[in-house]
Structure 1
């Protein structure tokens, strides 16, 4: 039965069209996948279906065909029409124009919708994992709710964290608890906006398994957005391909995904780049600290490596292998326990362990770093984030030209780059924010650039564009890149040499193809998608 109908939907933000003449039908119990690159309008559509106030359509209708109990205002899918409600009333058929209906019906529909948003961990930070899930369950017998909460946490592979405080969880763990909470609400409609876009492959697999078991197999209607074709093939009954707010194609997952993949270009390999002399020397570097629970933790344990000028050097490994700690020591954000780190500025070697203007302070302006948990200035425009907010003193018109140039380098075409300059970050998709954050590093033209998990939120097309921009920047500006990643496919495409870390130690160093042969089965499962 038809559950939701979108009729001639249009939506603009700041004069820029985001959704254009959208006409979609969603069947009850079906999984509709919305496929498209970052900025295609996927998140706007999800928020519009949810009833988020600022996403009210400019024109068109969102129709919910529902079964509603007029006695208690409980809403179900249309197949429940004629059945008896738990309160003793009966479910009646109603076709509700969502954004223009009675506010009580609007609220009743919203109450029956669960939503998972990308990079949004809506939890009670000071409460335990089990308490967070139990609060999402309907009022009832405490013991029954306790066991149901435990079952849900087992489903999302979080039963080993039931007593942990929510604020102490990792991002991937928080996302799994959020999923358990949303399933606990037993929704009529489940909305998932890029639920695994920023997660490592293993955590993403847990989320996908749970969506199949807890949503799809229960017959719950779901709309899921993603820029990853694999997600569409795994979960969706039907797929819509969005591009700049318009439907390019609609049909079976296999057909639409294959046509989408044909538009994904291959990275543009450049000729052999001449690698220069050493620019970073690391010798027997260690970072040990003491934990009450674990005793002495050897986060980095005796690593030595050399990175050459003009090289794209990858540091790979699973979460917890020590690669981010190593990158933080390279730029002086974390003090090593022992060992030496030297970086070359001009003809002089700088001791990176020595603080102050006569030590690493001399070279830090020439090192660009993109943290895994990057952040943009929320109240500044994209142009402000790229110029004023990073103290880049340029004439206004030249600053604008340079901003467009660097946005183009990370995958925005010139017209769209010009359009977003006056937008604040909250008007961008997560993938677009990620690219602006990379542009914020590149615009300063540093000698050395460290990118920590640079592909976390990127669609396949943008990943290729960023790969090309790194290769281009290396060739044209003679920049040196250090890529910290668990995305081995990206490393294979972009890096000249790679170091594999495991348990705080450097296991092997060599060409990316050689490192693949050293990966364990678990590492291949989490780091490599192409095999």
Structure 2
């Protein structure tokens, strides 16, 4: 077996190419995915982003190049074994219609030979994690769930066997905007809890900026740039990248990436309104405009003031962005 020394990178792609006849769908892509991070692959339809991701769990055969997961070359691991060790969630959720919610979630643990008590505990744990009451939902069938509930069950099933890697292909694409935003926040909270390495494919740049530690931009099979959200916005490597991120709201997008905690001013006594230090600058600005206040206290989780921020300061930071 080809094994590389353990590094901080969970997934390595080296010169990965996929051809169908004369057509090159993925063209010589090299990138690294850090352990415990979220990497979002974006691009227009036909850019090769889903094909690239599906080569990681060998749902699509690799034409040339090498992919390793946790130091092991994926071609040295039997495909069925590889797929059981990597969670996979897709748009439409891919739930088995004639299996209950509990049975759907337990699919991979059952294939791995877990005993019933262990499977039942894991199902209950995941239902609780996704705020789905076991007594209410465990025995329901997918058609009895809302779109948002189906999405949560789909992600729960992908996480059931405690994989270190989770691949997600447009998982929120079918959800309405309000449910979609909540689903994204749920994913961030769960990823922080488990430290799962996630690769997520989307065509939605706002989703990419909200979720990604790194954003990989693809076009016509090529990887144009793989950088932090800040660098994608401030140092686009290609005109297509700049076009994809947009120009009119660039300052607001950058403000959404900057934490209020790192931009606050010293504590100022007498301020009657407070904002959580966990907000980003864009949300802080929106809240201050909504409340009609020029200056607020910045509070920690215990609601104690740790600083302040003024409208003038926020606007200066926005212009600098």
> Alignment partner for residue 319 of structure 1, among 38, 45, 48?
45
Aligned to 2:300: none
> Alignment partner for residue 57 of structure 2, among 325, 331, 349?
331
Distance 2:185 2:126 in 1: 13
Contact map agreement 1:387 1:393 (CA 8 A) in 2: no
SS in 1 for 2:75: coil
Query: Could you say which structure has the greater relative contact order, defined with CA pairs below 8 angstroms and 6 or more residues apart?
Result: 2
Distance 1:464 1:407 in 2: 20
Aligned to 2:156: 439
Distance 1:380 1:361 in 2: 21
CA offsets, 1:121-168, max 9 Å, x none? xxxxxxxxxxxxxxxxxxxxxxxxxxxxxxxxxxxxxxxxxxxxxxxx
Contact map agreement 1:328 1:334 (CA 8 A) in 2: yes
Aligned to 1:304: 30
Aligned to 1:270: none
Select the structure of larger CA radius of gyration: 1
Change (3 A) 1:520 1:367: closer
Distance 1:361 1:399 in 2: 20
SS in 1 for 2:184: helix
Residue 277 in structure 1 maps to residue 277 in structure 2: no
Alignment of 1:236-251 (within 5 A): none
Contact map agreement 2:224 2:241 (CA 8 A) in 1: no
Distance 1:470 1:510 in 2: 21
Contact map agreement 2:109 2:160 (CA 8 A) in 1: no
Give the RMSD, CA atoms, in angstroms. 2.9
Distance 1:458 1:408 in 2: 21
Q: Report how far residue 286 of structure 1 moved.
A: 0.6
Alignment of 1:97-176 (within 5 A): none
Aligned to 1:380: 99
Q: How does the TM-score come out when normalised to structure 2?
A: 0.65
Aligned length: 239
Residue 287 in structure 1 maps to residue 18 in structure 2: yes
Q: Report how far residue 510 of structure 1 moved.
A: 0.6
Change (3 A) 1:376 1:462: same
Residue 451 in structure 1 maps to residue 179 in structure 2: no
Aligned to 2:84: 365
CA offsets, 1:395-444, max 9 Å, x none? 6676455334323444xx354x5312211112123332222111110122
Distance 1:419 1:320 in 2: 41
Q: Report how far residue 382 of structure 1 moved.
A: 0.9
> Alignment partner for residue 402 of structure 1, among 122, 140, 152?
122
Q: Report how far residue 374 of structure 1 moved.
A: 3.9
Gaps of 5+ in 2: 1-6, 254-321
Residue 350 in structure 1 maps to residue 97 in structure 2: no
Contact map agreement 2:107 2:157 (CA 8 A) in 1: no
Q: Report how far residue 471 of structure 1 moved.
A: 2.7
Contact map agreement 1:300 1:505 (CA 8 A) in 2: yes
Change (3 A) 1:424 1:335: same
Gaps of 5+ in 1: 1-275, 291-295
Distance 1:388 1:327 in 2: 22
Distance 1:390 1:377 in 2: 15
Aligned to 1:177: none
Q: Report how far residue 372 of structure 1 moved.
A: 3.3
Change (3 A) 1:475 1:520: closer
